[in-house]
Structure 1
Amino acid sequence: MSEPPLVVALRIADPALAERLGALLSDVPGLRLAVPGEPADAALVAAGAPDPDAALTAREAEVLALVAEGASNKLIARRLGISVHTAKFHVGAVLEKLDAASRADAVAQAVRMGVLSL
């Protein structure tokens, strides 16, 4: 008895790229592309594409904008009327959601993803 095929979803905003990948993957034995809305065993996501599950909150977007200006946690706290601890927490959440290693990396990632424009 053969195994059921592995169902893979393509989460790629660029239609041309999605079509090319779909064509390449359509002939792979043991693999089937998911139709829109169908649960999948795995997903291919284009590099730099925002993860919908990791969307920034409105407050995190404000914090990111201040980080892009070079603001410290203390300045972020003062500007937003929050504690330094809360500012530090929000900066950490932004770094995590953007999979960034530093503040500068977070800004660069956000710009690449279209989350932030400078």
Structure 2
Amino acid sequence: MSGEPPALVVAIEVGEPELADRLAALLADVPGLRLAAPGEPADATLVAGSEPAPDVALTPRELDVLALIAEGASNKAIARRLGISVHTVKFHIASLLDKLDAQGRAEAVAQGARLRALRL
């Protein structure tokens, strides 16, 4: 652990077991993020919902990029999947980090899920 910040510990609170399992599987390998064990204190809690929170002002393309980040896609893979340049992907990620007040990709996914802007 040479200077790496500690992992963001995230709890999942979802009423539907299938959705909770899917969310856990998507987030399990996200660098810098660790899922909390039952009863363990967490830095953030993900609560799944069906509609984005009204105060989240992400563009449809930013939502696409966020969903692919949640799947663990690299910038290059996101660019290929969306038919855009890597530079444009970086622009969208910078915008997501700013809008979600996140320090990195894992925190953006956690914030997006918490704010119900991420459909998993």
**Could you tell me the TM-score, scaled by structure 1's length?**
0.54
Which residue, out of 101, 104, 107, partners 2:106? 104
1:65 aligns to what? 67
2:86 aligns to what? 84
CA distance in 2, matches of 1:102, 1:72: 13
CA offsets, 1:1-53, max 9 Å, x none?
xxxxxxxxxxxxxxxxxxxxxxxxxxxxxxxxxxxxxxxxxxxxxxxxx573x
Judging by fraction of residues, say which structure has more helix.
1
Aligned-partner residue type, residue 73 of structure 1? N
Greater gyration radius: 1
Q: Is the 8 A contact 2:67 2:119 kept in 1?
A: no
The two structures, once aligned, show a CA RMSD in angstroms of: 1.8
Q: How does 1:26-41 map to 2 (within 5 A)?
A: none
Q: Secondary structure at the match of 1:71?
A: coil
Size of the alignment, in residue pairs? Answer: 69
Identity rate, percent: 65
CA distance in 1, matches of 2:68, 2:97: 13
Aligned-partner residue type, residue 116 of structure 1? L
Structure 2 portions without partners, runs of 5+: 1-52
Structure 1 portions without partners, runs of 5+: 1-49
1:93 aligns to what? 95
